[in-house]
Amino acid sequence: MKHQSPEQLREAAALVATPVTTMTRKERIERWADLLDAHGGSLEALRRIEYLSDAERRGYRGNNTPLDVAYADPVLRRDGLKGNTLGDSMDYFEMSAEDAHHLLCDCHYMGSLTGHGLAARLRRYAGGGGMMAWASSVFSGHTA
Protein backbone atom coordinates (compact mmCIF):
# COMPACT_ATOMS: atom_id res chain seq x y z
CA MET A 1 0.00 0.00 0.00
CA LYS A 2 1.30 3.40 -0.97
CA HIS A 3 1.21 6.10 1.71
CA GLN A 4 -0.22 9.43 0.58
CA SER A 5 -0.81 12.76 2.24
CA PRO A 6 -4.40 13.96 2.69
CA GLU A 7 -3.81 16.46 -0.12
CA GLN A 8 -2.67 13.70 -2.48
CA LEU A 9 -5.74 11.64 -1.58
CA ARG A 10 -8.05 14.59 -2.30
CA GLU A 11 -6.42 15.12 -5.70
CA ALA A 12 -6.79 11.44 -6.56
CA ALA A 13 -10.43 11.43 -5.42
CA ALA A 14 -11.17 14.52 -7.53
CA LEU A 15 -9.80 12.76 -10.61
CA VAL A 16 -12.01 9.73 -10.01
CA ALA A 17 -15.09 11.81 -9.17
CA THR A 18 -14.83 13.97 -12.29
CA PRO A 19 -16.62 12.20 -15.16
CA VAL A 20 -14.86 12.18 -18.48
CA THR A 21 -17.24 12.48 -21.38
CA THR A 22 -16.07 10.12 -24.08
CA MET A 23 -19.07 10.11 -26.40
CA THR A 24 -19.68 12.93 -28.82
CA ARG A 25 -22.82 15.02 -28.46
CA LYS A 26 -24.39 13.20 -31.39
CA GLU A 27 -23.55 9.78 -29.88
CA ARG A 28 -25.08 10.80 -26.54
CA ILE A 29 -28.30 11.98 -28.17
CA GLU A 30 -28.47 8.89 -30.38
CA ARG A 31 -28.00 6.64 -27.35
CA TRP A 32 -30.85 8.48 -25.61
CA ALA A 33 -32.96 7.96 -28.73
CA ASP A 34 -32.14 4.23 -28.70
CA LEU A 35 -33.18 4.02 -25.04
CA LEU A 36 -36.44 5.82 -25.79
CA ASP A 37 -37.15 3.47 -28.71
CA ALA A 38 -36.65 0.51 -26.40
CA HIS A 39 -38.79 2.07 -23.65
CA GLY A 40 -42.09 1.33 -25.33
CA GLY A 41 -45.34 2.93 -24.31
CA SER A 42 -46.09 6.50 -23.43
CA LEU A 43 -43.99 8.96 -21.51
CA GLU A 44 -44.83 12.08 -19.57
CA ALA A 45 -43.85 15.23 -21.43
CA LEU A 46 -42.41 18.05 -19.36
CA ARG A 47 -45.19 20.41 -18.33
CA ARG A 48 -45.22 24.08 -19.27
CA ILE A 49 -41.47 24.51 -18.92
CA GLU A 50 -41.49 27.70 -20.98
CA TYR A 51 -43.18 29.49 -18.05
CA LEU A 52 -40.63 28.45 -15.43
CA SER A 53 -37.77 30.62 -14.21
CA ASP A 54 -34.32 29.46 -15.25
CA ALA A 55 -33.71 27.93 -11.79
CA GLU A 56 -37.09 26.16 -11.77
CA ARG A 57 -36.52 24.89 -15.31
CA ARG A 58 -33.05 23.54 -14.47
CA GLY A 59 -34.41 21.77 -11.37
CA TYR A 60 -37.46 20.31 -13.14
CA ARG A 61 -37.94 16.55 -12.90
CA GLY A 62 -40.86 14.18 -13.17
CA ASN A 63 -41.75 10.51 -13.10
CA ASN A 64 -41.77 8.52 -16.34
CA THR A 65 -40.21 11.35 -18.35
CA PRO A 66 -37.58 11.15 -21.07
CA LEU A 67 -35.19 12.53 -18.43
CA ASP A 68 -35.79 9.43 -16.28
CA VAL A 69 -35.14 7.15 -19.25
CA ALA A 70 -31.78 8.82 -19.90
CA TYR A 71 -30.70 8.80 -16.26
CA ALA A 72 -31.64 5.13 -15.79
CA ASP A 73 -28.92 4.21 -18.29
CA PRO A 74 -25.59 3.36 -16.61
CA VAL A 75 -23.66 4.15 -19.80
CA LEU A 76 -24.92 7.75 -19.91
CA ARG A 77 -24.35 8.17 -16.16
CA ARG A 78 -20.82 6.82 -16.45
CA ASP A 79 -20.23 9.17 -19.38
CA GLY A 80 -21.22 12.19 -17.30
CA LEU A 81 -25.02 12.56 -16.99
CA LYS A 82 -25.25 13.80 -13.40
CA GLY A 83 -28.96 13.50 -12.62
CA ASN A 84 -32.52 13.34 -13.89
CA THR A 85 -33.26 17.07 -13.83
CA LEU A 86 -33.83 19.09 -16.97
CA GLY A 87 -30.71 21.13 -16.19
CA ASP A 88 -28.58 17.99 -15.97
CA SER A 89 -29.91 16.83 -19.33
CA MET A 90 -29.50 20.24 -20.95
CA ASP A 91 -25.87 20.36 -19.82
CA TYR A 92 -25.02 16.79 -20.76
CA PHE A 93 -26.78 16.74 -24.15
CA GLU A 94 -25.64 20.34 -24.88
CA MET A 95 -29.19 21.53 -25.38
CA SER A 96 -30.46 25.10 -25.04
CA ALA A 97 -33.59 25.92 -23.04
CA GLU A 98 -35.37 26.64 -26.32
CA ASP A 99 -34.35 23.27 -27.79
CA ALA A 100 -35.42 21.48 -24.60
CA HIS A 101 -38.78 23.22 -24.78
CA HIS A 102 -39.37 22.24 -28.42
CA LEU A 103 -38.25 18.65 -27.89
CA LEU A 104 -39.66 17.82 -24.44
CA CYS A 105 -42.53 20.15 -23.50
CA ASP A 106 -46.13 18.95 -23.41
CA CYS A 107 -47.32 21.81 -25.60
CA HIS A 108 -45.69 20.07 -28.59
CA TYR A 109 -47.28 16.65 -28.04
CA MET A 110 -50.95 17.19 -27.23
CA GLY A 111 -50.90 14.34 -24.72
CA SER A 112 -49.25 11.73 -26.92
CA LEU A 113 -45.52 11.61 -26.20
CA THR A 114 -44.07 8.19 -26.95
CA GLY A 115 -40.51 6.97 -26.71
CA HIS A 116 -40.49 6.10 -30.39
CA GLY A 117 -41.81 9.52 -31.44
CA LEU A 118 -39.32 11.44 -29.34
CA ALA A 119 -36.49 9.17 -30.48
CA ALA A 120 -37.20 10.12 -34.09
CA ARG A 121 -37.21 13.83 -33.20
CA LEU A 122 -33.96 13.50 -31.24
CA ARG A 123 -32.25 11.75 -34.14
CA ARG A 124 -33.24 14.56 -36.54
CA TYR A 125 -32.11 17.11 -33.94
CA ALA A 126 -28.74 15.36 -33.51
CA GLY A 127 -28.32 14.93 -37.24
CA GLY A 128 -27.11 18.43 -37.77
CA GLY A 129 -29.45 21.39 -38.05
CA GLY A 130 -30.57 21.37 -34.44
CA MET A 131 -34.00 22.85 -34.02
CA MET A 132 -34.14 24.01 -37.64
CA ALA A 133 -34.07 20.34 -38.74
CA TRP A 134 -36.78 19.55 -36.20
CA ALA A 135 -38.92 22.51 -37.29
CA SER A 136 -38.62 21.69 -40.99
CA SER A 137 -39.68 18.11 -40.24
CA VAL A 138 -42.78 19.43 -38.47
CA PHE A 139 -43.80 21.56 -41.46
CA SER A 140 -43.05 18.79 -43.96
CA GLY A 141 -45.21 16.34 -42.00
CA HIS A 142 -42.40 13.93 -41.09
CA THR A 143 -42.72 14.02 -37.31
CA ALA A 144 -43.02 10.78 -35.46
Ranges of the chain whose pLDDT falls below 50: 15, 139-140, 142-144
**135 phi and psi, to 5 degrees?**
-65, -40
For residue 93, give every residue at least 6 positions away whose Cβ sits within 8 Å of its Cβ, in sequence order, or none.
Answer: 25, 28, 29, 32, 70
pTM for the complete prediction? 0.76
* Domain edges within the chain: 23-140
| pLDDT score at 143 | 45
pLDDT score for 133 = 53
Q: What is the pLDDT of residue 112?
A: 80
